[in-house]
Amino acid sequence: MPTNLPPVTRNLLIANVLVFALQYLLQDQDTLALTRWFALWPVGHDIAVDLGAGGVAGIGFRPWQLITYGFMHGNVMHIVLNMYALYMFGGLIERVMGTRRFTIYYFVCLVAAAVAQLAVVYLFEPDRMYPTVGASGAVFGLLGAFAMLFPREKLMLIPIPIGIPAWLFVTLYGVAELVFGVTGTLSGVAHFAHLGGLAAGLVLLWAWGVRPPPRHRF
């Protein structure tokens, strides 16, 4: 388990926790104080939302939301799971990639996840007007990087109580996300955003010339 975290991973963890704390202090779930501006809203016309006490907010997509949504979370469990994954995988991958490449990689995955989510909503749920938040798309990119760099390291896929190779773990997870997304299972989860982050990460690694290490032969 990582101890001394490299700078980008450490700062991402701090930023996410601080933003979530601000959401809590501003009672964002009810007031939309941050969500109205920084969550990822579907592309299209703005909508008017009654904030109570005579307040009305015009809410819709803004370009900066492609990044800012990734620092907001819906509840405590949401941020705990994402930050745990960032803590477990981010530091290791940052050390391997270096700070500059890791930063590029993380934000490419984050933006790609947002674009995938926007595209799916625009094409298949044009009447939907709900925001997307969370670092999950970038986290899936980190999972893809871990599987590419350390394919034979063992990870545990709940509820299977045994470790399985990272490449198989990520493959099964990706297939599950695709099935969930297509069938509408586990509604309220941005399955295609996860897949967008994972796919973008793998494509970027391939473009950088990163390949899985060769298998040892005996």
- Residue 159: predicted pLDDT: 65
Separation of alpha carbons 54 and 168, rounded Å = 53
Among the residue ranges 74-78, 129-133, 193-197, the one predicted with the least confidence is 129-133
pLDDT at 48 > cutoff 80: no
DSSP label of 40: B
User: Tell me, what's the pLDDT at 1?
Assistant: 43
pTM for the model: 0.90
pLDDT at 101 over 90: yes
**In the predicted model, what is the mean pLDDT of residues 64-88?**
95
- The two three-digit tokens of residue 44, written as one number: 């299209």
- Listed in order, strand segments (DSSP E) in 74-210 are 154-156, 163-165
What are the pLDDT digits (tens) for 136-170?
999 999 999 999 999 989 887 666 677 888 889 89
Is a pLDDT exceeding 50 seen at residue 31?
yes
* Cα–Cα distance, 209 to 199 (Å, whole number): 16
pLDDT exceeds 80 at position 218:
no
For residue 216, pLDDT beyond 70: no
List Cβ neighbours of 131 (8 Å cut-off, separation of 6 or more). Answer: 35, 39, 40, 41, 69
- pLDDT of 114 above 60: yes
Q: Average pLDDT, stretch 87-94? A: 95
Residue 60: the pLDDT is 87
Q: What is the mean pLDDT of residues 87-110?
A: 96
d(C-alpha 180, C-alpha 189), whole Å: 9
pLDDT mean over 170-174: 90
> What's the 3-state SS for 131-154?
CECCCHHHHHHHHHHHHHHCCCCE
The region, left, alpha or beta by phi > 0 then psi within -120 to 50, assigned to residue 103 is: alpha
